[in-house]
Amino acid sequence: MNQPSQRIVLAALVLAALPATAQVRKDDIKVAQADDARCRKEVKDYLETLRFVRTSAGSAIGSRVAGSFVSEGELDRVVQSQGYCVGAQLLRTKGTPR
């Protein structure tokens, strides 16, 4: 094969591989978004539960419960600095009920 033909074949091979690579990246993004959504839900559910306990049992009981597990402030700092999945991992590590 001459030089221009080799370049054309090489270009065709590279272009043929691009859609497959793009699809893999798309799938990775979908998985990452699903994981992030799960983490956000876990953090949100925990915070809603703490607020419910404070509303129904009083702030003293709510503070004791939060002190036994993860306080809203601590969780908020972790989420703001490291993201929702690290916050969800903190909840799991501290053994918070789900």
- Give the tens place of pLDDT for each residue, 44-77: 999 998 888 888 888 888 778 777 888 888 999 9
In angstroms, the Cα distances linking 54 to 3, 36, 65, 95 are 76, 27, 9, 20
Mean pLDDT check: name the lowest of 35-39, 52-56, 59-63, 94-98: 94-98
- Give me the percent of the chain exceeding a pLDDT of 90: 28
Q: Are 48 and 96 in contact (CB under 8 A)?
A: no
Within the chain, residue ranges assigned H as helices are 3-57, 59-68, 72-82, 84-93
Q: Is the pLDDT higher at 63 or at 28?
A: 63
Single out the residue of 74, 90, 81, 88 nearest to residue 38, CA to CA.
88
Q: Are 50 and 62 in contact (CB under 8 A)?
A: yes
